[in-house]
Homo-oligomer: A and B are copies of this chain.
Amino acid sequence: MTGTVVVDAMGGDHGPAETVAGAVRAWREHGVPVLLVGREPLLRLHLDRLGATAGDGGGGGGGIGVVHAPDAVPMAEPGARAAAGTTSSLVMGCDLVRQGVGDAFVSAGSTGAVVACAVRAIGRAEGILRPALAVALPSLAGGAGVLVDAGATADPTPEMIGQFALLGAAYARVVLGVADPVAGLLSIGSEPGKGNRLARRAAEILPGLPVRFHGNIEGHDVLAGAVDVIATDGFTGNVVLKNVEGTVRTALAMVAAAGIASPARLAEVAARYDPRTHGGAALLGLKGTVVVAHGSATATTIARACVVAHDLARADVATRITSQVAAPLATQPVP
């Protein structure tokens, strides 16, 4: 496998200006073969501007390829409508992965649309109810906690949250090298029985699943490093992910404004939680590798997302993760 990364060149707030530059950088600086999907004349203009030549990027010997897709999915478009189309860069990009022309897919499009298109075109892995986004958040202790679901499934069932914990634990094992990951359930009290209906029911299911379950954790535990996996629904997870990013920015800006340290000296800490530097979130539970980059992705973000997607595909992470989850689930009682 070459680890060719298909890039939705029309996705994100900034479109091809950033996506093409990011893809070119991934190829030039990291040797990642990329296949750009979008309006071909526009993409070729951007490639020319960068002095890059589109050749045989797909499936073959590497480089940068271009596949024409006439349409782009607007950021506000509902996922179901996006997935019903056939001519968008999003749908055509996912199709290229399903066909095996590419080995991974990267998009900075709206999360809802990427998830819907990926599920339809690439498909859920055997036994997986819904996909989930995983983001590794650096923790104070030095490791990272895998927040899952960070926004793929806004209204999961309790059983789905149980699967998210398994997917997150498999991600921690395969990607982060954690031997025996511990999963916590995000709730509003550490005692059993605290939470909303959804979390309370998930807390009843989790002890029966094949994962080391720590019990409930709270909002202040997310970065504390007590657990390797932070399992939650995609609504709460997405709010928390963005809240971490915004709170780090605010706290550091307050430190700078108080004259305690210069922004330049704080930049290293800021970068640890900057969505533009970590590249993107892995969409787990599919038959292929998909990385969702932040909507405000710059060329740096896209380049990083391509490297992450390339590495995930080459290590066959999607298959290894879902097999770890599906095998024990097959022996579980049907929910």
Contact = CB atoms under 8 A, between A and B. Distances in A.
Interface of A: 75-76, 78, 110-112, 139-140, 151, 154-155, 186-189, 191, 193-197, 199, 218-224, 233-236, 238-255, 258, 260-261, 265-266, 268-269, 272-273
A234 B193 CA distance: 15
A41 B242 CA distance: 49
Contacts of A239: 186-188, 218-219, 236, 239-240
B223 A247 contact: yes
Given A78-B193, A242-B219, A242-B220, A258 B269 contact: yes
Q: For the complex formed by this chain, how many copies does it contain in all?
A: 2
A258 B265 CA distance: 10
B272 A254 contact: yes
A118 to B, nearest CB: 18
A220 B249 contact: yes
A151 B187 CA distance: 11
Looking at chain A's contact residues, the main secondary structure is helix
Nearest to A246: B220
A189 B112 contact: yes
Contact of A266 (B236, B245, B255): B255
Given A140-B254, A255-B255, A255-B261, A196 B247 contact: no
Given A140-B254, A219-B245, A260-B269, 20 more contacts: A78-B193, A111-B188, A111-B189, A187-B235, A219-B239, A219-B241, A219-B242, A219-B246, A224-B246, A224-B250, A235-B236, A240-B240, A243-B244, A243-B247, A244-B247, A251-B252, A254-B269, A254-B272, A255-B261, A260-B265
6 contacts: A111-B189, A140-B254, A219-B242, A220-B245, A224-B246, A254-B269
A222 B199 contact: no
Contacts of A155: 196-197
A294 B121 CA distance: 48
B250 A223 contact: yes
Contacts of A196: 154-155, 233-235
A250 B260 CA distance: 17
Smallest CB-CB A-B distances: 5 pairs: A219-B242, A220-B246, A219-B243, A247-B247, A196-B235
B193 A220 contact: no
